Amino acid sequence: MSDDQFEPCPFPLACPRSSSSIVAAGDDCYLARMKPSSTALRVTLPKTIVAASAVALLLAAAPMMTQSDSAPVAAPGRPAKREAAVADAALAPLAFLEGRWETTLPNGMVSEESWLPVRGKSMLGSFRQTRPDGMPAFFEFTQIVAEKSRVVLRQIHVHGSFDTDERRKDPMVLQLSKAETNNAIFVPVTEPEQSHSADLASITYTRKDAETLVLRIESRPVKDSKNPDAPAKPQVIELVMKRAR
C-alpha cells in the first residue's frame, strides 16, 4: 500500500480515532484513508507496538477516570483557567442604561440607543437614527470606561454612509460629573484640547421607570442667529425612549 493512501495522525500511539484502521509506519501512526469501494484493510502489528499503544491509551484515559468529579487541572505548560472580569464598582451606578431603547420622532425618524451591560471597567453603547425611507441618517458609538481617577465617556459620530463628520473627526470626550439612582450627568473633560465637544455643556441620562429612558443634551448659552438681539441661552434636545422588545 502506497504512502498516498494514508494521512499522518496527530496523536502518535494514543490515537483517539481507535475505531479507524491504524497502520504503524516507523515512529509515526497513520490513519488509513479507505475508499468505500476498497476492500477491508488488514494489518499485522508487532506485539511490542500493540502493547505500547495499549499502555498509552490506558494512561491517556486515567486522568478522565480519576478526575471526573474534581476541579479541572491545567495541562502542563498551559495557564490555569482565569475567572471573567467582574464589574468595576465605579460603573455600578450606570447599570440602569443596559438594554435597547427607541422612540419615533414627529418627522418619522426613529432613534434607537443600545447599551451592553457593564463588563469589567467598560460599557459599550450605540445610537442609530433611521429616516422614514429606511436609510440611516447617522450612527454614534460610545464607550464608558472607568479610569484611575474618573469615569470617561468617548463617542464617535459617522454619517449614514459611515463617512466621518468633518466637524467631529476626533472622538468627543466627557467625564462623569454626577451619578445617583437611575441618573447620570456627563460634562466635557477639563482639558479643552481633548474634549472636542464644541458648545456641548452636558449629556444627562435618566431612567424614569423600568420602561422609559430620557436622554437630555444641553448646550452652553448660544446666540440665536434668527434673533441676534436676544440674550444667549442654552439649547436643549430631549429624547424620551421606551424599552424595545
- 225 with 107, same domain: the answer is yes
Express each pLDDT in 25-78 by its tens digit: 444 443 444 344 444 444 444 554 444 555 454 455 555 544 445 555 666 778
* pLDDT for res 76: 74
> Which tops the pLDDT comparison, 55 or 125?
125
* pLDDT for res 70: 53
- 213 with 109, same domain: the answer is yes
Number of domains present in the structure of the chain:
2
Per-chain mean pLDDT for the chain: 80
- 47 with 110, same domain: the answer is no
* pLDDT for res 194: 87
- Rounded to an integer, the average pLDDT of 8-37 is 43
72 inside domain: no
Burial (CB < 10 A; 0-12, 13-18, 19+), residue 87, is middle
The cell numbers describing 115, all together, are 447599551
- 39 with 111, same domain: the answer is no
201 inside domain: yes
Express each pLDDT in 185-229 by its tens digit: 999 999 878 899 989 999 999 999 999 999 999 999 988 888 888
> Which tops the pLDDT comparison, 12 or 153?
153
- 57 with 100, same domain: the answer is no
- 44 with 100, same domain: the answer is no
- 47 with 160, same domain: the answer is no
Full residue range of the structural domain in which residue 31 is found:
3-66
The cell numbers describing 236, all together, are 436643549
% pLDDT > 70, the chain: 69
* pLDDT for res 71: 54
User: Alpha helices, DSSP H only, in the chain?
Assistant: 47-66, 192-195
| Residue with the three cell numbers 436676544 | 230
Q: Give Cα separations from 138 to 48, 125, 207, 233 (angstroms).
A: 71, 14, 24, 27
Determine contact, residues 146/91, Cβ cutoff 8 Å.
yes
| Residue with the three cell numbers 505548560 | 77
- 147 with 219, same domain: the answer is yes
The cell numbers describing 14, all together, are 494514543
The cell numbers describing 92, all together, are 455600578
DSSP label at residue 161: T
- 202 with 103, same domain: the answer is yes
- Tell me how far apart the alpha carbons of residues 117 and 207 are, in angstroms, rounded to a whole number: 15
- 208 with 117, same domain: the answer is yes
